[in-house]
Amino acid sequence: MAEQKKNRSTATSVAGEVEASLLSQLRVIGDIYWISPVRNRLILMILGVFSIIIVTSAGQVLLNRWNVPFYDALSRRDFPAFVDQLMVFFAIASVLLVLNVAQTWLNQMTRLKLREGLTRDLVGEWLQPRRAFKLSNSGPIGVNPDQRLHEDARHLSEMSTDLGFGLLQASILLISFVGVLWTFSSGFVFNVYGYSFSIPGYMVWAAFLYAASASWLSWLVGRKLIKYNADRYQKESELRFSLMRVNEHIDAISLYRGEADENRRIGFDIDSLLAAIRLLVTALTQLTWVTSGYGWITIVAPILVAAPVYFAGNLSFGGLMAAVGAFNQVHDALKWFVNNFGAIADWRATLLRITSFRQAVQATDIRNSVDQRIKFAESGSNEIRLDSLKITAPRATVRLKEKQAVVKEGERVLITSEPGIDRTLLFRAIAGLWPWGAGTVSLPTDANVIFMPRLPYFPPGTLREAMSYPVGKDGFSDEELVSALHELGLTRLESMLDFRARWDRELSDDEQKSLAFARLKLHKPRWVVIDEALDGMEAGAHDRVMGVLRNHLGKSTVVHIGREDRGDHVFAKVLHFVSDPSGHGMEGEGLEGV
């Protein structure tokens, strides 16, 4: 499997993270929210923020006009007028304060709803039947999806809110103050060597030219940040996956005294992440030269632009301060791109990761429906049919020896294999999880089939929830649960039905398997396919399981993929899983569509 993943990582596949156009990525996000339950609330919140920004901009225009009488009162040393203008200021500032608080609340709630809609959609798409397993075999994009489902979804939601509302506010401020600045510019008369002339909208054009030069230079210096951010997030997810892997297997690592080796392996991931961050730091430092440089110049730029008119006596001190304020508002709106270029690059990288992941999840259904795959069908009768079944493994091809194998209702069938063959491949193929190969797998129509993996799964929660899974904790009565535990020799657990634990760590291997069969006894399925769960059990636990199969699941059809019968004489029919010398493995194939 490791070799298979290595091959897939180099393959050119649909799941590859090829950067699509920004418009196509935004279309994907738009489709997510258009069908999301949070759509209407999001629309109301965005309209609320839009309204607040409009009113806030009007208040800032009033505040800019307030500069003229306030600074003129200062220049005249007119104290009563100064006090009057202070009262006007506090009135305007109080309204703006309330608006700022309301906008902050709406911003945070919009973040919350954006994340809710995006995360629920991604998790819903990922957990469509069989998709998560198929994605895990689709190359690097499926190795650690938790990073994209959790961290990337959070990051994209927060940044989209901040950047989106920031751009909206900058746009409205620009529209509001361009007119104000144009009005101030109309009175600017230049006197050069005895000639007088005016430039309509002089300060507006100066602000546009100044911001345009800063934006162009920022894009030129900082455009590589998109790639560097994407690489950084990929390395972060790889390090997180390595740490989780070590934590999950810490018992075995400690027994082998493999801490030093694991430290070395994680060290490689840390070095890779640090190298990616160093590139990002260098690029951000280069961008800071541009953004900070323009930031310092901006302190004096509007005064320098208006200075010729002021010193010529065509502009009062109050008018100069109002013009400077309007210039700064227009320039701040125009340089939104400069101030946020690093964040925009980060947002683009996260948007790419989210959209490519969602498209890869959805594409698994297409990739696994093309030719050269096992066909899955309904048998139309009460039987399981395996016709000419071949399975392509990473290094070889294996097949069912019987060309046409039929398992009829009520039969007990054992499928054994030659030494060295991965029997789990057959289990996955029958369950529809492993589509690579040839032949047909037909399952009974509308049948209640339970597939029992070699390692049982118990969800986090109470013992009651683990035994009832997946029907919910109220699926069975206490009497039924206790009876199942007693039947499988798990009497010590009878008083722990509402006890919460990690049952895969709380119980021994035999107890976990016994608990899985206790769950099977409760559900009483008509059809059961078991993957080696009976192999390796202690004699006592094995005998109790066989008792359940005979006495409580006597009418169920049971297919066990595992070792030879121990002499229980439960399985009356035997099929054989063998290697296929005429086939070859996945190595060397393009694996397009895998």
In a domain, 301, yes or no: no
pLDDT at 138: 62
Instruction: Provide the H-helix boundaries in 127-258.
Output: 131-136, 146, 153-185, 202-222, 225-248, 250-255
pLDDT at 479: 92
pLDDT at 9: 40
Which residues contact residue 295 at a Cβ distance below 8 angstroms, ignoring those fewer than 6 apart? Answer: none
Residues 486 and 355 reside in one and the same domain: no
Phi first, then psi: what are they for 354, rounded to 5°?
A: -70, -50
In a domain, 219, yes or no: no
pLDDT at 340: 78
In a domain, 271, yes or no: no
Strands 412-417 and 573-579: parallel
In a domain, 277, yes or no: no
Residues 576 and 467 reside in one and the same domain: yes
pLDDT single digits (tens) 498-522: 998 888 888 888 899 999 999 999 9
Question: What angle in degrees, to the nearest 10, is found between the helix axes of 509-523 and 478-487?
Answer: 130
Residues 379 and 359 reside in one and the same domain: no
DSSP string, 181-217: HHHHHTT--EEETTEEE--TTHHHHHHHHHHHHHHHH
User: Where residue 492 sits, what CATH number does that domain have?
Assistant: 3.40.50.300
Residues 360 and 453 reside in one and the same domain: no
* Single-letter amino acid, residue 514: S
Contact 469, 495 (CB under 8 A): no
Return the closest-CA partner of residue 121 out of 17, 29, 18, 25: 29
Residues 459 and 340 reside in one and the same domain: no
Residues 146 and 79 reside in one and the same domain: yes
Residues 344 and 486 reside in one and the same domain: no
Q: Which residues span the domain enclosing 349?
A: 20-187+314-367
Return the closest-CA partner of residue 178 out of 206, 204, 198: 204
Residues 39 and 86 reside in one and the same domain: yes
In a domain, 287, yes or no: no
In a domain, 493, yes or no: yes
Return the closest-CA partner of residue 137 out of 456, 504, 548, 436: 436
pLDDT at 586: 52
pLDDT at 191: 60
**Considering 340, 367, 394, which residue would you say is the last residue of a domain?**
367
In a domain, 235, yes or no: no
Residues 328 and 397 reside in one and the same domain: no
**Considering 344, 367, 390, which residue would you say is the last residue of a domain?**
367
Report the distance separating Cα 556 and Cα 444, nearest Å. 13
Report the distance separating Cα 229 and Cα 352, nearest Å. 11
Contact 374, 437 (CB under 8 A): yes
pLDDT at 446: 66
Residues 417 and 347 reside in one and the same domain: no
Residues 363 and 436 reside in one and the same domain: no
In a domain, 205, yes or no: no
Report the distance separating Cα 219 and Cα 345, nearest Å. 10
Report the distance separating Cα 33 and Cα 249, nearest Å. 39
pLDDT at 187: 57
pLDDT at 127: 81
**Considering 367, 389, 411, which residue would you say is the last residue of a domain?**
367
pLDDT at 565: 65
pLDDT at 281: 87
> How many domains is the chain partitioned into structurally?
2
pLDDT at 123: 86
Return the closest-CA partner of residue 405 out of 421, 429, 422, 424: 429
Contact 399, 580 (CB under 8 A): yes
DSSP string, 41-100: HHHHHHHHHHHHHHHHHHHHHHHHHHHHHHHHHHHHT-HHHHHHHHHHHHHHHHHHHHHH
**pTM exceeding 0.85:** no
Query: Low-confidence residues of the chain, pLDDT below 70?
Result: 1-20, 137-144, 184-199, 201-202, 255-256, 295, 308-309, 312-315, 319, 331, 334-335, 338, 365-372, 394, 446-447, 565-569, 583-594
Residues 90 and 147 reside in one and the same domain: yes
